[in-house]
């Protein structure tokens, strides 16, 4: 593996002292300046679609008089394509499936590290029983909202799915390590009051259970179901949820604050309906400070239906490529579940949060990850 490229990606995900933009530039320079001979062979239809989407989006953002600075315009234009190709390049030397699995787990843990450290620091200083949902970054004290912090933890909540899966990659020690990281992530989600993380945990487990039942042989299927029943009984008997406990203060309040917020997805359904209507009234985009809390609606707002079309094509291709992985018998079940869940939880998060305006680096990581998915298809299927 390219150790320099890998370390650059680790630094990008860790984002020390909010240097993520400059680390991203280093990745682009490293790929273009030193690996041009390798990356030209990796350009495919998805890469070209990302180029079209990025430049159309950036052009509309610039010409529409948006408040994006020149630096943001540059990274909007070149990072999606660059990170997609970078993902394909990093595993182009035919890493083993086990290597790829643990590489993805490492990405998840490192991506969450700054958020976890920040939230744990907040818990140690003020405990769980706090009503504020603003946090000071452990690196530089920069204020980050709880929603932004939760976005860094979305991959960790998939870990229980790997723990219960039938895998030749994970021994008992490996499962315990993942369980530890998941436990820390759940503690952080309690303090963040993140309903999204709890929802993603439940969804990931259901996906994994159904998928395992489908693919396992009858004997293994029976054993798996018995194990699930035993684990469920142990959890019911020895784990209790107390909404009045300090550790549940923030999340408990948000879960019981009323049915209106839950039924409207925290007020997002109205934003989505308004955004959908605006697409037809303003096909070239529309002005206004209110965003739709949805990647695709917000894309249409900034740059109209043309860039939205290319983003939708890339989204569909990402889902299709992931589906090929999930149903490939040439790939270990744990890696299939990992690749499938990483795509699914990201798209779910994209559906309910501002991305290109609020968490653009998650979109770049998604492009990077989809490059890995496409390269695995080319190698293994």
Q: What is the pTM of this model?
A: 0.90
pLDDT at 259 over 50: no
Q: How far apart are CA 315 and CA 351, in angstroms?
A: 12
Q: What is the pLDDT, as a whole number, of residue 260?
A: 46
Cβ-based neighbour number of residue 248 at 10 Å: 18
Q: Does residue 263 have a pLDDT over 60? A: no
> How do residues 298-330 score in pLDDT, each as one tens digit?
999 999 999 999 999 999 999 999 999 998 888
Q: What is the pLDDT of residues 117-166, one digit of tens each?
A: 999 988 888 877 676 778 888 888 888 887 778 889 999 999 988 888 77
What is the pLDDT at residue 242?
58
Least confident segment among 31-35, 180-184, 208-212: 31-35
């Amino acid at each position: 593996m390219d150790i320099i490229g890998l370390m650059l990606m680790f630094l990008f995900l860790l984002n020390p002292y909010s240097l993520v933009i400059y680390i991203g530039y280093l990745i682009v320079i490293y790929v273009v300046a030193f690996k041009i001979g390798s990356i030209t062979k990796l350009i495919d239809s998805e890469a070209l679609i990302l180029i079209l989407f990025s430049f159309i989006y950036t052009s509309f953002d610039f010409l529409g008089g948006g408040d994006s600075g020149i630096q943001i315009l540059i990274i909007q234009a070149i990072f999606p394509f660059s990170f997609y190709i970078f993902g394909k390049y990093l595993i182009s030397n035919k890493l083993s499936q086990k290597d790829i699995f643990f590489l993805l787990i490492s990405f998840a843990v490192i991506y969450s590290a700054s958020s976890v450290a920040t939230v744990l620091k907040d818990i140690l200083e003020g405990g769980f029983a706090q009503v504020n949902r603003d946090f000071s970054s452990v690196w530089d004290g920069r204020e980050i909202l709880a929603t932004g912090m939760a976005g860094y933890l979305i991959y960790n909540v998939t870990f229980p799915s790997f723990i219960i899966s039938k895998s030749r990659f994970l021994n008992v020690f490996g499962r315990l390590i993942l369980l530890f990281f998941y436990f820390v992530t759940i503690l952080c989600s309690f303090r963040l009051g993140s309903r999204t993380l709890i929802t993603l945990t439940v969804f990931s487990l259901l996906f994994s259970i159904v998928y395992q039942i489908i693919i396992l042989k009858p004997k293994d299927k029976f054993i798996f179901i018995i194990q699930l029943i035993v684990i469920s009984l142990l959890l019911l008997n020895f784990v209790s949820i107390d909404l009045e406990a300090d550790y549940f203060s923030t999340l408990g309040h948000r879960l019981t604050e009323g049915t209106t917020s839950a039924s409207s997805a925290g007020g997002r359904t109205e934003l989505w309906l308004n955004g959908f209507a605006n697409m037809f009234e303003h096909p070239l985009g529309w002005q206004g400070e209110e965003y739709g809390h949805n990647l695709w609606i917000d894309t249409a707002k900034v740059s109209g239906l043309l860039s939205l079309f290319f983003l939708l094509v890339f989204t569909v291709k990402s889902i299709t490529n992931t589906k090929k992985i999930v149903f490939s018998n040439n790939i270990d079940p744990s890696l299939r579940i990992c690749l499938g869940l990483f795509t699914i939880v990201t798209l779910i998060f994209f559906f309910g949060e501002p991305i290109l305006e609020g968490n653009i680096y998650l979109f770049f990581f998604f492009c990077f990850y989809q490059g890995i998915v496409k390269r695995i298809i080319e190698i293994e299927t």
